[in-house]
Structure 1
């Protein structure tokens, strides 16, 4: 995941179960959790979302389903799971590590960390404000 994120200059958000797939201090990591409003806004702002091995389940999406304004590509080893909770534009059924490794040489390298920095700062600021309040607005 780190190699693909770096090659694409693509910000990465993980679910709670996927935490650690990309180190939190990685330049393109936006952290774990799909429930904060700013994370949902980030996903809606994307041209392409690559969802790897995630259910996109209600337990991750406390505020309701995500809005995909761009294309949704899903990678999952389970052909049933790959169309559960969100219908993808493209499905890649297979082992996540092997599929990501196969994609790596097919994508062009990009160098634009600004988008990741912008969203990382926005998500972090939202988390700090909510921590000061004592209870996130999305959890009330």
Structure 2
């Protein structure tokens, strides 16, 4: 699991809090899948993730646009890739239920992607705001 740590902070408090909450929920989804949790719990986590991902991505994209961040378009495209992957995984959860394979897929394709995205793209926003 990817645990939030100071190395993932980009220095913008609201975005850092949102990143931490998203990582926590991705971990909760992977753990629920590993534990074979029921449909209700899985759907609850997924619904929260879908809502929160959309809210966070929209806010972050607005910030990048407002501060003319040079990676704004790359960030927007990357967000769409994440949303598409998440939708495919959620569809597979609907079909197959909680499985260890899906837990690993959440970890590899969503959580690891998200951590990498923070480190490679989101960090560029801070220099746009302070520069």
Instruction: Kindly indicate which of the two structures has a greater share of residues assigned to helix.
Output: 2
Which structure carries more relative contact order (alpha carbon 8 Å, separation 6+)? 2
Fold shared by both chains (TM-score > 0.5): no
TM-score after normalising by structure 2: 0.32
Instruction: Kindly indicate which of the two structures has a greater share of residues assigned to strand.
Output: 1
